[in-house]
């Protein structure tokens, strides 16, 4: 037969189908947006002192809880109070911008939570462009702006994220 080759005509269409299926799978793969986890501001401050070791244990549990609870609505608070010393209690607030998907919200709060764990004190605020996380050893949830309407606490942040 010399230079003649036998070509299987069915191989080419199968190749095309396989390529099409691969491209289709790639195109349908879930795409995650940027969680917008750029740190804008970080405040780590002293709070009324209690037992730092106990506080950190309670804080770790509270941070884990708030990360788990933030996804459905983009907002979560949790508090862990100690009956023996209120200075060891922890109050945590986490909030994402309304345009964040639940997955991006959790990603952003995870960044904020890791940043907050770096704070050795009993008061922390981590502002990211997609979310906000704050913890204190006192209940700050009902704090309002002062008479000059400057933000005195997290209420200003909540209002800005609702826009």
Mind listing the pLDDT tens digit for each residue in 120-134? Answer: 888 899 999 999 999
In a domain, 140, yes or no: yes
In a domain, 29, yes or no: no
In the predicted structure, residue 138 carries a pLDDT above the cut 70: yes
Q: What is the pLDDT of residue 60?
A: 92
Over residues 98-115, the mean pLDDT reads 93
Print the domain residue range for 145.
39-161
Q: What is the pLDDT of residue 155?
A: 44
| pTM reported for the whole predicted model | 0.67
In a domain, 14, yes or no: no
Burial class (CB in 10 A: 0-12, 13-18, 19+), 155: middle
Please give the tally of structural domains in the chain. Answer: 1
DSSP string, 35-71: ----EEEEEEE--S---HHHHHHHHHHHHHHHHHHST
Over residues 93-119, the mean pLDDT reads 93
Question: The domain spanning residue 130 has which CATH number?
Answer: 3.30.430.20
Burial 17-52 (b: 16+ CB within 10 A, else e): eeeeeeeeeeeeeeeeeebbbeeeeeeeeeeeebee
In a domain, 56, yes or no: yes
């Amino acid at each position: 037969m010399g230079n003649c080759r036998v070509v299987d005509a069915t191989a080419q269409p199968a190749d095309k189908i396989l390529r099409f299926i691969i491209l289709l799978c790639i195109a349908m793969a879930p795409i995650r947006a940027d969680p917008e986890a750029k740190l804008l501001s970080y405040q780590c401050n002293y709070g009324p002192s209690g037992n730092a070791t106990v506080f950190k244990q309670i804080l770790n549990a509270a941070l884990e809880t708030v990360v788990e609870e933030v996804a459905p609505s983009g907002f979560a608070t949790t508090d862990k109070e100690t009956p023996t010393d209120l200075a060891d209690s922890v109050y945590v607030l986490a909030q994402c911008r309304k345009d964040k998907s639940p997955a991006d919200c959790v990603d952003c709060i995870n960044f904020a939570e890791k940043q907050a764990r770096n704070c050795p004190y009993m008061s922390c605020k981590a502002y990211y462009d997609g979310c906000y996380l704050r913890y204190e050893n006192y209940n700050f949830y009902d704090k309002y702006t002062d008479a000059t309407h400057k933000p005195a606490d997290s209420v200003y942040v909540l209002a800005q994220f609702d826009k």
